[in-house]
């Protein structure tokens, strides 16, 4: 009889405990996990499937995680979104910020984009209003059978950087939701 490759009990237990430490969230017939300390909120628009606040240290500003979905064939390709996201950032010298782009290992094709600098968040191209200093945006494009998902995490750079692995874990953990 061939050997089956099973996780050793300590690794299986560790994986189960890590899963239990987070909160499972469902969307579009899919599911993934976010950290337990992320606070679920009511999405502020119909384009947002999920919205979470990430508290900062006492007396500091928090960050926000949003999962956007615009419908099948909507929302634009990676290049167009990359250009738009980058246009909202500038360095301390006022020059453009170069994005870091990384393909992710997930069940569905996914690409991570990271930007850090002065950030003037806007719906369209360019900056809107005064740019906030030392901000970070983690954004991704996840290709699903129902259309692209656009998860984003933005806020103070140090806080967002501390949540990078959780953000990537959310993307890499996207899977079909269990049937009710």
Q: What is the mean pLDDT of the chain?
A: 86
Segment 35-49 shows an average pLDDT of: 95
Predicted confidence band at 21 (pLDDT cuts at 50, 70, 90)?
A: low
For 143-162, how does the pLDDT look when each residue is reduced to its tens digit (9 = 90+)?
999 999 999 999 999 999 99
pLDDT, residue 130, reads 81
Across 15-19, 106-110, 123-127, 144-148, least confident range: 15-19
| Distance between CA atoms of residues 160 and 166, nearest Å | 10
Of 138, 166, 152, 149, nearest in space to 22 by CA: 166
| Distance between CA atoms of residues 45 and 13, nearest Å | 39
Q: Do the beta carbons of residue 152 and residue 170 sit within 8 Å?
A: no
For 158-170, how does the pLDDT look when each residue is reduced to its tens digit (9 = 90+)?
999 999 999 999 9
pTM of the predicted protein model: 0.84
């Amino acid at each position: 009889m061939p050997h089956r490759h099973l996780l050793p009990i300590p690794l299986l237990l560790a994986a189960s405990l890590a899963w239990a430490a987070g909160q499972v969230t469902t969307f579009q017939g899919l599911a993934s996990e976010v950290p337990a300390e992320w606070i679920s909120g009511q999405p502020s628009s119909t384009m947002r499937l999920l919205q979470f606040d990430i508290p900062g240290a006492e007396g500091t500003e928090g960050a926000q995680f949003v999962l956007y979905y615009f419908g099948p064939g909507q929302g634009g390709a990676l290049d167009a979104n990359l250009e738009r996201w980058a246009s909202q950032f500038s360095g301390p010298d006022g020059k453009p910020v170069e994005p870091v782009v990384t393909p992710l290992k997930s069940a569905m094709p996914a690409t991570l984009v990271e930007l850090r600098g002065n950030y003037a968040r806007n719906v369209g191209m360019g900056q809107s209003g005064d740019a906030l200093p030392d901000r970070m945006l983690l954004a991704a494009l996840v290709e699903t059978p129902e259309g692209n998902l656009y998860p984003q995490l933005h806020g103070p750079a140090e806080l967002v950087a501390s949540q990078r692995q959780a953000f990537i874990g959310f993307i890499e953990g996207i899977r079909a939701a269990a049937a009710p």
